[in-house]
Homo-oligomer: A and B are copies of this chain.
């Protein structure tokens, strides 16, 4: 049986924050917008509907929990949730906090410009806030 391993590009572009029951929660290294990614720890899964029925429900519950938490943390105007995967085929779910006036508002973040890496203090402070919110 194939083991789960996070895709190389996801691994390079984002950092593991914590594990939920099904998904890794990762922070995209792009300070332009608060952007988390959920990666179900299942091998060889490309589409949401490739997951088992039980995992589909778990993925939705976890994505919605992360979205609500990110909304609470950021006070964003809108949370964007998406499973796209045209480039990186391993199933991953984007959860992005969007606000009026952000760099590509109201257009999507995907395929827009280039990532602006966090400074270490800013990143660490954000990660601490996220982890604290999850531990509540």
Residues of A within 8 A of B (CB): 46-49, 53, 56-57, 59-61, 63-65, 67-68, 71, 77-87, 89, 98, 105-108, 110-111
Contact = CB atoms under 8 A, between A and B. Distances in A.
Contacts of A63: 48
A65 B47 CA distance: 11
Binding site of A, secondary structure by majority: helix, strand, loop or mixed? mixed
Contacts of A105: 86
Nearest to A107: B111
A132 B41 CA distance: 35
A49 B78 contact: no
- Kindly report how many copies of this chain are found in the complex they form together: 2
Contacts of A86: 77-78, 80, 98, 105-108
Given A59-B60, A80-B85, 15 more contacts: A46-B78, A47-B71, A47-B78, A48-B64, A48-B81, A49-B68, A53-B61, A56-B61, A78-B84, A78-B86, A80-B84, A81-B82, A82-B82, A82-B84, A86-B106
A52 B68 CA distance: 13
A56 B47 contact: no
17 contacts: A46-B78, A47-B68, A47-B78, A56-B61, A57-B57, A57-B61, A77-B86, A81-B84, A82-B82, A82-B83, A86-B98, A86-B107, A86-B108, A87-B106, A107-B110, A108-B108, A108-B110
